[in-house]
A and B are shown apart, each in its own frame.
Chain A
Amino acid sequence: MTAIAIEFDSLVKQFGKQRAVDKLTAKVSSGRITGFLGPNGAGKSTTLRCLVGLSAPTEGSAKILGAAYKDLANPLTRVGTVLDSRGFHPSLTGKQNLKVVAAAAGISDSRVDEVLAMVELTDASGKKVKNYSLGMKQRLALAGAILGDPEILILDEPANGLDPAGIAWLRNFLRNLAHGGRTILVSSHQLAEMQNTVDDVLIINKGALIAQGTIEEVTQGSTLEEAFLKLTGGQLS
């Protein structure tokens, strides 16, 4: 039986009258890459924010490795997260930004140099983040996510704003991480890209789960885009 890395149990997140996540129940298996798909505003980012403790669920729960994120000891060494390309102080260099995070997690500064090399930012590590391109910020965010060498990665739209070369780089980077046996939960609009990258798929629409399974089970011989359009009623944005 496959171990469960991430589990949503009747997760609800309500903002005033709007229900962003609606009784979401789903599981993400260990050691696999899972695509988390849905139209714009479907509740993907809100779900991921509830998962990592930045938003409090209105009802239900979201657990990683059997526990709420906030209850994980030194979570950066268990779970790496990229939520958006913001999150870095623009006046600090890329290296300084990572050293701030490393210090909080008790991670050595030499590891900062290692991850900067892994995302090919060594030469730009002394530049202020405000001078980084969007692609460089995305790579810096990925460097931050792997700083603690975690077994689980949660990536929210990591390909957003990347040019084709950046997307190709990201694909190889994720594949290399997956080969190490990591669990990766990645949300994306790049459906063709997802088809070539993910093992499993979770699709949500209007906050509710509408499909879950291996990519073969969900697509049933069609492309992921065709299956997605059919399941979401053609609301592909």
Chain B
Amino acid sequence: MNLIKSEWRKLVYARANWGLLIAATLISVLSVVVTPFILSSQGEMFGLSLESTAAVDSVYANGISGYIFAIILGILLMAGEFRHGTAVATFLTSPKRGAVVANKLAIAAIAGILLMWISTGISMIAGWVALSTFEEAGSPSDNLLINTFIAATIGGAVLGIIGVAIGTLVRNQMMAIVGSLIYLFVIDPLLLALLPDAGKWLPSGLITAMLSLDINAPELGFDTSSYLPAFAAALVLLGFGVVFAALAITTSLRRDVE
């Protein structure tokens, strides 16, 4: 419990982590609130009328946009130790590195979940408020709320863990963050649009798949029929978490701490 308490203090004492929570919430709220305005004016062009359940689901689905910040949070928790030299104090206090990294992975998972719950929860409320201003807006599908909750929980935990693993492998914090953002903003969406058979196995496709959306909007490069079933997507994403966690622990055991 000592290590968890220490890692928790690192998490809550650093203002940058609170900044990430605020940024994740703002981005998610913005994504959710803007979408009904776009669909209301141009939805027909995309084959998504705001009256349809699919369109309303797509509005709320943007509530999980904060997962990008969960990975950055994980990177900051680990690579920040090397950037500021606090890894020395950390590993002097607890020289059993596997235990330190295991606790850091646990805190990153908890932090990722909390970040996703808060940002997704607030953006869902914002989405409800935004949609209530459109008389023609339909209703969301019955399972949307629970699916979103599951996607936010598993997505937040796994991406937090992946962030710690990246921070262990790429100790340069800036390089780790920039590389992850390029991957999540550019490579993942491109693969999803151009090579959906490959993209559906990657984090963005898996998290979206957990929402069980039924949307076919080729103009947006978005067709959920090619995605994995929600349960399979959750298992694959958790598998990513296990592989990256093992990678983080084994890497930290081998390398010297500067």
**Chain A interface residues toward B at CB < 8 A:** 49, 52-56, 69-70, 72, 75-76, 81, 83-84, 86-92, 96-97, 99-101, 103-106, 144
A88, B86: Cβ atoms closer than 8 Å: yes
B179 within 8 A of A: no
A91-B15, A103-B9 are known contacts. Are A75 and B95 too (CB-CB below 8 A)? Answer: yes
- Complex: how many Å from CA A86 to CA B86? 7
A54, B92: Cβ atoms closer than 8 Å: yes
B13, A100: Cβ atoms closer than 8 Å: yes
Q: Please give, as numbers and ranges, the residues of chain B lying within 8 Å of A99 by CB-CB distance.
A: 9, 13
B2, A106: Cβ atoms closer than 8 Å: yes
Taking the closest CB of chain B, its distance from the CB of A86, in whole angstroms, is: 3
B256, A105: Cβ atoms closer than 8 Å: no
B86, A89: Cβ atoms closer than 8 Å: yes
B interface: dominant SS: helix
B3, A104: Cβ atoms closer than 8 Å: yes
A-B contact pairs, 13 of them (CB 8 A): A49-B257, A53-B91, A54-B91, A54-B257, A84-B85, A86-B85, A87-B88, A88-B84, A88-B89, A89-B14, A103-B5, A104-B3, A144-B89
Q: Please give, as numbers and ranges, the residues of chain B lying within 8 Å of A86 by CB-CB distance.
A: 84-85, 88
Taking the closest CB of chain B, its distance from the CB of A131, in whole angstroms, is: 14
B139 within 8 A of A: no
The count of residues in chain B whose C-beta lies closer than 8 Å to any C-beta of chain A is 25
A105, B14: Cβ atoms closer than 8 Å: no
B90, A104: Cβ atoms closer than 8 Å: yes
Q: Please give, as numbers and ranges, the residues of chain A lying within 8 Å of B91 by CB-CB distance.
A: 53-54
- Complex: how many Å from CA A103 to CA B86? 14
A104-B6, A105-B2 are known contacts. Are A52 and B85 too (CB-CB below 8 A)? Answer: no
A87, B89: Cβ atoms closer than 8 Å: yes
**Chain B interface residues toward A at CB < 8 A:** 2-3, 5-6, 9-10, 13-16, 80, 84-86, 88-96, 256-257
A105, B93: Cβ atoms closer than 8 Å: yes
| New contact pairs (13) apart from A54-B256, A83-B88, A87-B85, CB-CB < 8 Å | A52-B92, A53-B91, A86-B88, A88-B85, A89-B10, A89-B14, A92-B13, A100-B89, A103-B5, A103-B6, A103-B9, A104-B90, A105-B2
Which residue of A81, A89, A97, A106 contacts B92 across the interface (Cβ within 8 Å)? A81
A100-B10, A103-B5, A103-B6 are known contacts. Are A87 and B93 too (CB-CB below 8 A)? Answer: no
- Complex: how many Å from CA A8 to CA B243? 38
B88, A104: Cβ atoms closer than 8 Å: no
Which residue of B16, B92, B257 contacts A55 across the interface (Cβ within 8 Å)? B257
B86, A104: Cβ atoms closer than 8 Å: no
- Complex: how many Å from CA A104 to CA B6? 5
Identity of the chain A residue whose Cβ is nearest the Cβ of B1 in the assembled complex: A106
- Complex: how many Å from CA A89 to CA B14? 9
Q: Please give, as numbers and ranges, the residues of chain A lying within 8 Å of B15 by CB-CB distance.
A: 91
Taking the closest CB of chain A, its distance from the CB of B149, in whole angstroms, is: 31
A87-B88, A91-B14 are known contacts. Are A69 and B95 too (CB-CB below 8 A)? Answer: yes
- Complex: how many Å from CA A101 to CA B92? 10
Q: Please give, as numbers and ranges, the residues of chain B lying within 8 Å of A87 by CB-CB distance.
A: 84-86, 88-89
Identity of the chain A residue whose Cβ is nearest the Cβ of B5 in the assembled complex: A103
- Complex: how many Å from CA A169 to CA B223? 70
A100, B88: Cβ atoms closer than 8 Å: no
A75-B95, A101-B89 are known contacts. Are A90 and B13 too (CB-CB below 8 A)? Answer: no
Taking the closest CB of chain A, its distance from the CB of B150, in whole angstroms, is: 32
